Amino acid sequence: MNKNNISLHTLGVLLAPVCLGMLLSGCNKAEVPASKKEAADEAKLPLIREAAGIRLPETSPLRKSIAVAAVTEQTVERAIIIPGTIELDAATSIKVVPPVAGRILQLNKRLGDKVNAGDVLFSIDSADIATAYSDASKAQSALLLAKRNLQRQKDLVDAEIAARKDYEQAEADYSQASSEVGRTKARLAQLGVSKDAGAGHHYQLRSPIAGRVIELSAAQGGFWNDTNAPLMTVADLSTVWMTASVAEKDLPLVFAGQAAKITLNAYDNEVFEGKIRYVGDVIDADTRSVKVRIAIDNKSGRFKPGMYAKVNLSGQAHQAPAIPASAVVQNGFNTRVFVEKTPWVFEPRIVKTGAQVGDKLEILSGLKAGERIVVKEGVLLND
């Protein structure tokens, strides 16, 4: 190897560390500015999504907008709001149907009149009544004749003058006449009259209940020949029913004795109270609902059958986690809240809500009392 080659080789060996140092020095100078740039860029971001959740940097403007509070427990009564209708109480109302045809002689009670049990409602001049009285009189006469004949035949048989078969025939005739008297008396009793009232063709129908005449379909002097149609309706409206339909899914929340608050369209600014008296035993196949009945005191007469109303049923009171409605964020089909895992780090969580009590929502699942959540402007963290 000549002298020139040795010098070049020696120079290369001497310069290699210098170049490597310069390269390393250059690399370090490039890394420091990049790290500072990333930190500066991160400081400008309002939020950073990480594996642990959503982090708000110290300089994030969202820290001033978002509010965090702990989940609390409170007493919750889930309310069910359903439409209802005022109805008559079938046990205290009656459609009065005349049992006989005839001309209406007098209407003793007219529409709106108060009625006491036993009051005469109307009088009818009826041939059917005359026939019933006549049949009863004939049956009584036939019975008297059969009784005399039976006694006579008995005397003859005892004297061995008449045949035994004549006595037996007299017994049969008496039994038949006695049955006919019973039938005619039953007919008069069914019509509401008795044999002791004497013969006649005037019939008076008396009210079996106390109440008020709420329907009238006849006029004085008119002829009534349909014994299946009601001439008038008498009802006791001191108590009426509020009937409402409860959806099948809400049945577990409804029970007899449950308190109800009622608002009627006619008295929109007033709230009336009642209690469920009866929950239906059969589900309507078409509406998938069950009828409930609420008894309402109506001595004031303000509740008119046919009125529409809104019924608010209060569920059984229980303790449950509750959060402000503002804490809930909708994400597609899911309802979410943002739970604070560590200071300014939040985790989105799906929850199931129940009843609303004022401005708070009952939490059925997904949260426990004591957990801290975003209660204001959580939508800013939503995807």
Gap between the Cα atoms of 272 and 266, Å rounded: 12
Task: Classify residue 37: in a domain, yes or no.
Answer: no
Lowest pLDDT segment from 153-162, 196-205, 259-268, 280-289: 196-205
How, if at all, do strands 102-107 and 259-264 pair?
unpaired
Residue 213 host element (H or E) = strand 211-216
Does one domain contain both 243 and 307?
A: yes
Residue 240 and residue 301 in one domain = yes
In tens, the pLDDT along 98-118 reads 988 999 999 999 999 999 999
Instruction: Indicate whether 1 pLDDT > 50.
Output: no
Give yes or no: residues 345 and 293 share one domain.
no
Strands 53-55 and 114-115: unpaired
Q: Is the pLDDT of residue 206 over 60?
A: yes
Q: What is the CATH number of the domain that holds 252?
A: 2.40.30.170
Looking at the structure of the chain, the number of domains it has is: 3
Residue 365 has pLDDT above 60, yes or no: yes
Q: Does 59 reside within a domain?
A: yes
| Lowest-confidence pick of 23-37, 75-89, 200-214 | 23-37
What pLDDT was estimated at residue 213? 95
Residues in Cβ contact with 99 at an 8 Å cutoff, skipping those fewer than 6 apart: 190, 191, 192, 205, 227
pLDDT grade for 68, boundaries at 50, 70 and 90: very high
Answer yes or no: is pLDDT of 322 > 60.
yes
Question: pLDDT exceeding 70 applies to what percent of the chain?
Answer: 87
Which pLDDT value is given to residue 280?
93
Q: What is the DSSP string of 219-275?
A: -TT-EE--TTS-SEEEE-TTEEEEEEEEEGGGGGG--TT-EEEEEESTTTT--EEEE
Would you state the pLDDT for residue 194?
A: 65
Beta-bridged to residue 94, according to DSSP, are 234
- For residue 72, what pLDDT is reported? 93
pLDDT of residue 290: 94
pLDDT mean over 2-7: 46
* Residue 197 pLDDT > 60: no
Phi, psi of 131 (to 5 degrees): -65, -40
Query: Is 28 a member of any domain?
Result: no
**Does residue 351 sit in the same domain as residue 293?**
no
The domain in which residue 262 lies consists of: 82-91+236-314
Burial level of 86, CB count in 10 A (0-12/13-18/19+)? buried
Residue 272 lies in a domain: yes
Say yes or no: 240 and 300 in one domain: yes
Residues 240 and 310 in one domain: yes
Q: Identify the CA nearest to 355 among candidates 317, 326, 329.
A: 317
> Is it the case that residue 193 has pLDDT exceeding 80?
no
In a domain, 176, yes or no: yes
In whole angstroms, give the CA distance from residue 325 to residue 361.
6
**Residue of 148 and 162 predicted with greater confidence:** 148
Q: What is the pLDDT of residue 39?
A: 57
CB 296 within 8 A of CB 242: yes
Same domain for 282 and 304: yes
- Same-domain check for residues 241 and 308: yes
Residues with Cβ within 8 Å of residue 253, at least 6 apart in sequence: 78, 80, 313, 315, 316
The predicted structure's pLDDT at residue 160: 80
Q: Are residues 303 and 350 in the same domain?
A: no
pLDDT tens-place string over residues 270-301: 899 888 999 999 999 999 999 999 988 898 88
Whether the predicted pLDDT of 311 surpasses 50: yes
Q: What is the CATH number of the domain that holds 185?
A: 1.10.287.470
DSSP E strands: which ranges in 47-146? 48-50, 53-55, 67-70, 72-76, 79-87, 93-96, 102-107, 114-115, 120-125
Residue 207 lies in a domain: no
Average pLDDT over residues 175-204: 80
Q: Does residue 87 sit in the same domain as residue 144?
A: no
Q: Looking at the domain assignment, is residue 219 inside a domain? A: no
Sign of CA dihedral 366, 372, 377, 382: negative
Q: Which of 270, 299, 314 is the last residue of a domain?
A: 314
Tens of pLDDT, residue by residue over 241-259, are: 999 999 998 888 898 988 8
How far apart (Å, rounded) are the C-alpha atoms in residues 265 and 159? Answer: 89
Return the pLDDT at 351. 95
Residues 143 and 170 in one domain: yes
Closest C-alpha to 166, from 156, 178, 175: 156
For residue 102, tell me if it sits in a domain: no
For position 64, which CATH number holds? 2.40.420.20
In this structure, are 298 and 346 located in the same domain?
no
Torsion sign (Cα): 56, 60, 62, 66: positive
- Residue 363: pLDDT band by 50, 70, 90 thresholds? very high
What pLDDT does 234 receive? 95
Reported confidence tier of residue 2, pLDDT bands at 50, 70, 90:
very low
Last residue of a domain, one of 271, 299, 314: 314
From 264, 280, 314, give the residue that closes a domain: 314
